[in-house]
Structure 1
Amino acid sequence: MPSTLVLISAGYAEDDQVIDRHAAVLDAAARDGVRHVVYTSLTGAGDHLGFALAHRATERLLRAGDLSWTILRNGLYAELFGSLLLWAGDGLESAFGSGALAAVVRQDLADATAIVAADPARHGGRVYELSGTPITAGQVADRLDVPYQIISLGEYRRRLAPGLLPFQPPMLASIATAIRHGFLDGTSPDLVDLLDRPARDPLPTAAGQACNERGPSRAS
């Protein structure tokens, strides 16, 4: 039976490291008899994000190779959205402004990936845009019944944790400005079509993650 490989992006590194890792995986897959690769890429709306290039380079490698492939362009996670909101006293602050993110619950992306991997022939050569329902930082604050304050991108950069790796602050700032200026709020039917059911509401997940980020010592 032909084998299928699900390639989960090896992010959290500089572009050259990520691309080299992905290229090594694809070389090994071709050598070891893999017939189809399902790659979890980045939403097409995210081309201007600081970590997009490695995804697009990997897509290019897939298209240029001999393996059959499916590309899942994952929207940014609802969990990530919630984790990037900042607590200040009893309220939330964010550089997202009033902009929205078409956020996706990670479990929905996992479910969609499993569906594609179970029947790769049906999805060969396809690129799916897996975006969710647009949510805002203000909506998360409303759900948690706390005030929300918009901060500038400059202030956000100043408040990023000093322990971050050098490539991470520009990456996070690119997410913030993209959401703030309305570049990541576009939706697509692909996720619902693959799941054959409604997608999970990302707002409760984002709010739950934001609450977790607050920490027990500050929770009321």
Structure 2
Amino acid sequence: MPLERIMIIVTGATGQLGRQIVERLLTRVPAERVGVSVRDPEKARALADRGVRVRQGSFTDAASLAHAFEGAAQVLLVSVDAMGEECVKRHLAAIEGAVAAGARRILYTSQMGASPSSRFQACRDHAATEEALRACGVPFTSLRNGFYAASAAHFASFGVDSGRLPLPADGPFAWTAHADLAEAAAVVLADEGRFDGPTPPLTGSTALGFDEVARTAGQVTGRAMTRLTVPDDEWREQMTGRGVPAETAEQLLGIFTAARAGEFATVDPTLATLIGREPVSLRTVLRETLAA
């Protein structure tokens, strides 16, 4: 098979997840089989120096995607860091670009709980993107990633100094480390066709709410943290009072209303099977993030 027909293209390869996916993919396939599509090629210079094909590509520029995806056998679309109509629009453009490039499989970083009826906007966006993948005519794999443990660390960071973590009522989250999800994505890319359609939820081994997040954050930092339950309306007002746009505050509130409905509670062994070990724990992520 000619070299250009075995290329694996990863988008967003300078972002937190995409960068780690490429690093782990390079331990499994030769660098000359790996290409990245990035908005700023200069930020991927280190990858180019290792033999990775680096091309500029943007989900808002079809011509750039045609160049970035050229010769792709597989394209991994790392979902954009946004929510709402514009997010889905960009995903659709990327899918169209991968189809036009002749990719034989499109992979996408989705999320557990992806559903058009989800209470969390991001999960509705993922569901819309998955529907477009089903309709695109090319085999696809949707990586149903567990809820990022980095999000737990981000919320907890606001309570380190005050010792108070005021948040809306929640439910259990199957917190999952970026590093584990990146490892799983690399495994799936290197074993083309291992999953067809959505994967089972790719999650950590336990599901914990913010009571446990606060408790664990206090333990790893040595600074006790109390989790306080705040009414939804009050929390929304607090967010907008801090300068958060009203639409964004409503979207963030969706995380908690979805968790209360059990949308992020499922724990599944698929991730552990893929990476060949127990997933990184929430405690480890909090220690690495908060106690650094």
Q: Same fold (TM over 0.5)?
A: yes
Deviates more, 1:91-100 or 1:58-67: 91-100
Larger relative contact order (Cα-Cα within 8 Å, sequence gap ≥ 6): 1
1:64 aligns with 2:143: no
- SS of alignment partner, residue 200 of structure 2: strand
CA distance in 2, matches of 1:163, 1:107: 32
Structure with greater strand share of residues: 1
CA deviation string 1:32-59 (max 9, x = no partner): 1211111111212672212222111110
- Once the two structures are TM-superposed, the CA of residue 96 in structure 1 deviates from its matched residue by 5.0
- Distance 1:76-1:62 versus aligned 2 partners, 3 A rule: same
- Distance 1:45-1:203 versus aligned 2 partners, 3 A rule: farther
The one of 212, 229, 234 equivalent to 1:151 is: 229
The one of 206, 209, 213 equivalent to 1:136 is: 209
CA RMSD of aligned residues (A): 2.4
Q: Letter of the aligned partner of 1:32 in structure 2?
A: A
- The answer (yes or no) to whether the contact 1:80–1:206 under 8 Å persists in 2 is no
- Once the two structures are TM-superposed, the CA of residue 89 in structure 1 deviates from its matched residue by 5.2
Largest Rg, 1 or 2: 2
Structure 1 regions of 5+ residues with no counterpart? 213-220
Mapping 1:49-198, distance limit 5 Å: 49-85=120-156, 86-87=158-159, 90-97=162-169, 99-132=171-204, 133-143=206-216, 144-145=218-219, 146-152=224-230, 153-160=232-239, 162-180=242-260, 182-198=262-278
- SS of alignment partner, residue 207 of structure 2: strand
Structure 2 regions of 5+ residues with no counterpart? 7-72
- Once the two structures are TM-superposed, the CA of residue 126 in structure 1 deviates from its matched residue by 4.7
CA distance in 2, matches of 1:180, 1:87: 21
- SS of alignment partner, residue 167 of structure 1: helix
| Sequence identity percentage | 27
TM-score (norm 1): 0.84
Runs of 4+ in 1 over 4 A off after TM superposition: none
Q: How many positions carry a matched residue from both structures? A: 211
